[in-house]
Chain A
Amino acid sequence: MDYFGYPAIWLPWTFAALMGLSILIYVVLDGFDLGVGLLMPLADEDEKDRLVASIGPFWDANETWLVLAVGLLLVAFPTAHGAILTALYLPVFLMLIGLILRGVSFEMRAKAPITQKRIWNGAFFLGSLMASLSQGFMLGMYLMGLTWTLPHVGFALLTAVFLTVGYSFIGAAWLIWKTEDRLQLRALRWAQGGIWGLVLGIGAISVATPFISTRIFDRWFSWPEFAYLSPLPIISAALIIFLWRQLARLPLSNDRWSWTPFAATTTLFTLAYGGLAYSFYPYVVPERITIYEAASAPESLFIILIGTLFVLPAILGYTLLSYHIFRGKATALRYD
């Protein structure tokens, strides 16, 4: 079959891939800065400033990946966008309020009178918590096919907790990389305290997903797919063991390997995400609407694709530039 001859086939596929990539980048990047927000109550007053400083130059661009992901869903798969977001009306609302509180507190805590700082620190934590919980809840509801039944909501509440713990884990991993001395040691302890959430979360979703439908079950447990896919759980398990050991041995002299927990967690997130993407392809609304049924007109998709191909590399380029400029340990944020 000649795929490249049929824009109605390869364009939706390309956009699904782009959207998937944006969501993955969002989950890793905003995952770590939401996670740092979740860790705020555990830090003392001076450390709080350092926590915020470690994500200050990045959080804004990180959240833009969410806008891109929702934007791609909106422009490339309009019917799916409507179906998903009306079904998730309330959690979306809670997430948005959370993101608003968080983004505003970021600026306010540094600029408002010192007496109000505690309030804004609280709002920063609360916003991060609301956003993480509702994203986890939406993930669970999405996996269960967006129908509001009691068992589905129960499962979604579970994923809400797991994703929140997962975010705080990657947040702690980020801090291990970006901070030093006492704060780094504390971040290591936070990560040790949170790793169970990561294991349980990925485990629960991996166990639950194949039982959502026989289609997904067959995708995983038929021969020879089972053999091709077996590296996925094996590498994941190896990464978790590696993380466990690394958290026990860090910090090393000269701060060697302090970046490895973050890198390993990112890889783990990517693998788990890849597994989900494999399970649900070609559906954009699980078991109901495929990406081909939901896609916009090929002409419009093509116009967007041309722009994307030029602009996306530039975005990646200057994002890397920004991380390069703000490399090294986080110092106090100053406007100069």
Chain B
Amino acid sequence: MDTLLLSRIQFGANISFHILFPTITIALGWVLLFFKLRFSATGDRKWMDAYMFWVKVFALSFAMGVVSGITMSFQFGTNWPGFMETVGNVAGPLLAYEILTAFFLEAVFLGIMLFGASRVKSWVHTLATFLVAFGTTMSTFWIIVLNSWMHTPQGYELIDGVVHATNWFEIVFNPSMPYRFVHMMLASGLTVSFLIAGISALRMLWGDRREDVKTALRVGIIAAAGIIPLQILAGDFHGLNTLEYQPAKIAAMEGNWETGPNVPLVLFAIPDEEARENRFEIAIPNGASLILTHKADGVVPGLNDFVTDDGEVLHPRVAPVFFSFRIMVGVGMAMLLLSWTGLVLLRKYGAGGMPKPPLFAFCAMSFSGWIATLAGWYTTEIGRQPWLVQGVLATKDAVSDVPAAMVLSTLIGYLVVYAVLILAYIGVITYLARKATRGEAYSTRYYPRRGETNLAALQPGE
């Protein structure tokens, strides 16, 4: 394998590992704020017990996100120097704003949020929780802006092959940004909803019947059931946006080779790039035309349009885009089915009387959000190839000339570390659940409410 492919795999591996943890912390920060505010409003300690359990998961996920994020900031220089040399004038300020407005905010207030509850007033702690959640969201915003700009660049001019910014409003609010941002925020919401529901279900299966576990299960199911239809809608809008700006990606997602009307919706197939056709195809007639153009005879772009006369292929490799798109949609459908079933059962039995089969199902789906999120990102990022910045910079022109052996050996190093850490992460979360089920995490701790004095906070030098 050559340096280009290995560097792509290495970047893919690094960013895949990284995105797992922000996907959890983005929404979990807001959930924790919700728990904290409910506690302030009601004084019911179940909210604070739930907060105390999930804040540990948050701390762990945050640490994993920070350290894997540091790796990302070096990857540009070590493997993709051409990226910053060509589009640095646009990418630079966006990354700088992320670091300045988000990284520091979340990192500093995280310390206060995690360890400062007895050192500051309750409202300062709530404020710190808010600022951490806000910081993670700001961070998402800037990264999504940059990523969207790479898909739908505008507001720039090329001078001697280098991109110069001309209109920052156009750069920030580029055409695919709003769709991508909403899609990612909702993806994070779904991931966290299923994680909370799944881990709470696990604790209930282990015999934990405490109020905070039932409440967390209820919150998880209701949030999931509420978010999933919004996500399907947002995904549909995002797809239409992609059709307008990146038709080659849509063609690969649909597995459609020839441009034309009445294009079927391919449910399953094995795309054959040599023969330029699908094998073992199962399809719904007119489906793709209906979804993408809302007309049975609507015209859908085909992959053969993106091959030049001298045979150069300007569309992405079909199979990875085609399959990861189907995995994302499949997981989304499973989420819809389970969360709405869960909602019905919740109304019928309440969280405490939930029968075992759905509890097992929620357990199994605990990390389903990760799978859908990764599959979605693979669809859109591989779907942009052969471009790094659509129409501006080809991926092969940005890669560094580091020897392939060096890229391969470091790639193996990263993969080994990441595999161990993911196993350890999932292991520790289940261990925390096990420990909480045994009751060890619960003390007779007193949680002061807003306005009440916390004596512990007043001792000097503590």
B185 at the interface (CB under 8 A from A): no
A21 at the interface (CB under 8 A from B): no
Bound-complex Cα distance A241 to B432 (A)? 50
Are B111 and A64 in contact (CB-based, < 8 A)?
no
**Which of B58-66, B230-238, B312-320, B344-352 lies at the binding interface?**
B58-66
State whether A326 and B410 are in contact (beta carbons under 8 Å apart), knowing that A67-B69, A103-B63 are contacts in the complex. Answer: no
Chain B contact patch, size range:
35 or more
**Which of A70-78, A228-236, A266-274 lies at the binding interface?**
A70-78
A contact residues around B460 at 8 Å (CB): 328
Please provide the chain B residues from 94 to 108 with a CB less than 8 Å away from any CB of chain A in the complex: 95-97, 99-101, 103-105, 107-108
A99 at the interface (CB under 8 A from B): yes
Please provide the chain A residues from 274 to 315 with a CB less than 8 Å away from any CB of chain B in the complex: 296-297, 299-300, 303-304, 307-308, 311-312, 315
B66 CB to nearest A CB, Å: 6
State whether A335 and B114 are in contact (beta carbons under 8 Å apart), knowing that A106-B63, A107-B60 are contacts in the complex. Answer: yes
B2 at the interface (CB under 8 A from A): no
State whether A63 and B70 are in contact (beta carbons under 8 Å apart), knowing that A75-B93, A104-B63, A299-B89 are contacts in the complex. Answer: yes
Bound-complex Cα distance A336 to B446 (A)? 10
Q: Which residue of A lies closest to B81 (CB)?
A: A82
Q: Which residue of A lies closest to B99 (CB)?
A: A71
Q: Of the candidates A71, A76, A325, which one forms a contact with B112 in the assembled complex, judged by CB atoms under 8 Å apart? A: A325
Bound-complex Cα distance A58 to B165 (A)? 37
A181 CB to nearest B CB, Å: 14
Are B445 and A322 in contact (CB-based, < 8 A)?
no
Bound-complex Cα distance A134 to B351 (A)? 52
A3 at the interface (CB under 8 A from B): no
Total A residues in contact with B, Cβ cutoff 8 Å: 68
Q: Of the candidates A57, A60, A85, which one forms a contact with B116 in the assembled complex, judged by CB atoms under 8 Å apart? A: A57
Are A319 and B108 in contact (CB-based, < 8 A)?
yes
Are A101 and B417 in contact (CB-based, < 8 A)?
yes
Q: Which residue of A lies closest to B164 (CB)?
A: A297
B contact residues around A23 at 8 Å (CB): none
A contact residues around B116 at 8 Å (CB): 57, 325-326
Bound-complex Cα distance A197 to B165 (A)? 48
Q: Which residue of B lies closest to A119 (CB)?
A: B424
A4 at the interface (CB under 8 A from B): no
**Which of A89-97, A184-192, A214-222, A244-252 lies at the binding interface?**
A89-97
A79 at the interface (CB under 8 A from B): yes
Are A96 and B402 in contact (CB-based, < 8 A)?
no
A contact residues around B462 at 8 Å (CB): 328, 331
B445 CB to nearest A CB, Å: 6
Are B96 and A304 in contact (CB-based, < 8 A)?
yes
A308 CB to nearest B CB, Å: 6
Bound-complex Cα distance A102 to B68 (A)? 11
Please provide the chain A residues from 84 to 125 with a CB less than 8 Å away from any CB of chain B in the complex: 84-86, 89-90, 92-93, 96-97, 99-104, 106-108, 111-113
B358 at the interface (CB under 8 A from A): no
A255 CB to nearest B CB, Å: 10
Q: Which residue of A lies closest to B441 (CB)?
A: A335
B contact residues around A63 at 8 Å (CB): 66-67, 70, 107
Are A322 and B112 in contact (CB-based, < 8 A)?
yes
State whether A104 and B70 are in contact (beta carbons under 8 Å apart), knowing that A74-B76, A89-B78, A334-B118 are contacts in the complex. Answer: no
Please provide the chain B residues from 203 to 256 with a CB less than 8 Å away from any CB of chain A in the complex: none
A333 at the interface (CB under 8 A from B): yes
B92 at the interface (CB under 8 A from A): yes
State whether A70 and B74 are in contact (beta carbons under 8 Å apart), knowing that A106-B63, A303-B168, A322-B111 are contacts in the complex. Answer: yes
B421 at the interface (CB under 8 A from A): yes
Q: Which residue of A lies closest to B62 (CB)?
A: A60
Q: Which residue of B lies closest to A86 (CB)?
A: B400
A contact residues around B111 at 8 Å (CB): 56-58, 60-61, 322, 326
State whether A112 and B112 are in contact (beta carbons under 8 Å apart), knowing that A71-B96, A329-B461 are contacts in the complex. Answer: no
B451 at the interface (CB under 8 A from A): no
Q: Of the candidates B66, B70, B100, B427, which one forms a contact with A307 in the assembled complex, judged by CB atoms under 8 Å apart? A: B100
* 18 contacting pairs across A/B (C-beta < 8 A): A57-B111, A61-B107, A71-B96, A71-B99, A72-B96, A81-B77, A82-B84, A82-B400, A85-B77, A86-B402, A97-B413, A296-B92, A297-B89, A304-B93, A304-B97, A312-B100, A322-B112, A336-B118
Please give 16 more A-B residue pairs, beta carbons under 8 A apart, in addition to A70-B74, A319-B108, A325-B116. A60-B110, A61-B107, A64-B66, A67-B99, A72-B96, A82-B81, A83-B81, A100-B70, A104-B67, A112-B428, A296-B88, A300-B92, A303-B165, A307-B101, A325-B120, A335-B55
Interchain residue pairs A-B with the least CB separation, the first 3: A82-B81, A75-B92, A85-B77
A contacts, CB < 8 Å to B: 56-58, 60-61, 63-64, 66-68, 70-76, 78-79, 81-86, 89-90, 92-93, 96-97, 99-104, 106-108, 111-113, 296-297, 299-300, 303-304, 307-308, 311-312, 315, 318-319, 321-322, 325-329, 331, 333-336
